Every structure is written in C-alpha cells, then in structure tokens.
Amino acid sequence: MKIAVIVGNPKPASRTLEAAKLLAGKVGGTPDPVIDLAVFGATLLEFGNADIAAVIASVCEADVAIFASPTYKATYTGLLKLFLDMFPPDGLDGVVALPLMLGAGPNHALAPDLLLKPVLVELKAMCPFPGLYLIDKTFAEDPRLDAYAERASSYLPLRKREVSQ
C-alpha cells in the first residue's frame, strides 16, 4: 500500500510532519512520498512547474494520502490550500484521504471535517472517516491517534484499485 504524507506547515520539519508520519506508520508503514510543503517555498507559486507537477502526480498515485496542517486562523494553512489548488478537478479520485490537523487547544476540533475534508472531497478523494484533530504538544501520546489508526487500518485493505472494481 502506498501512503503519501502531505504537510502544509510553513515551518519545515514541524510537529505536524511528525504527527503525519506517525499516523502513516500506524496505518500501514513507511510513507512515500513525504511532502513537506515548506521546503518548496516560492516554487509553489509557479503553476505548471514540472517539479510540483511530479509531486502532485505522486500523491495522485497513492492509495492513501494523509493531508496534515496546523490550525491557522481557525483553518488549515494557505500553503496547503495553494498546493491543493494545483490539483486537477478529479486528481484524488480513488485516493483514500485522511485529514489531520494539529492545534494548541480543543477550540478548533471540527476544523478537519468542516474545512479540510470538503476540499479533499471536491478533488474526488474518498474520506471514509471524520478528520483527526490533535493537540500539537501531546499528539504522540493521545489515545485518539491509535484509535483512529486502528479504524483506518480496518478499512484500508480496500485500496482504491479494489474499491473501483
């Protein structure tokens, strides 16, 4: 199973990246590719850039894609939005998407479902579960991470190629 991790934190090598990789490991193994959007910088503003197109293609080929963002102004980051805007309208067709957001407190716990998940569904991703929201300083110890991963793992054998048949 191919798992992609896409992180929209403007800070490279962030806790958001750690959380997304941890979730990937718990649902199916080592993620590949791991896309830390912060390292792309202004390249993300270059629509039609071949390197960005290759990264998008690798996400579209994944069975599972974890889209992770810190909570900024009660929503996901503009960096992640900019990246998602480059996808073709049906670019995530058949990809199981897991929206993950981290925040400083529980106030924005609905953000993954209310704000990130609709964009992923618009791109035709399958989002079979509610999004996951974790507190940024305690995500690794949060029992909801294991519960979410277990639930996702029970579904993920029905990968996109099997589901589409």
Q: Provide the pLDDT for residue 160.
A: 44
Q: Which domains does the chain have, with CATH numbers?
A: 3-163 (3.40.50.360)
59 dihedral zone (left: phi>0; alpha: psi -120 to 50; beta): alpha
Assess contact for 124 and 90: CB atoms under 8 A. Answer: yes
Inter-CA distances, 67 with 43, 79, 80, 99, Å: 19, 12, 8, 5
pLDDT by residue (tens digit) across 30-39? 999 999 999 9
Tokens 């964009």, residue?
119
Q: Tell me what pLDDT residue 12 has.
A: 96
Please tell me the predicted confidence (pLDDT) of residue 157.
54
Sites in the chain below the pLDDT cut of 50: 159-165
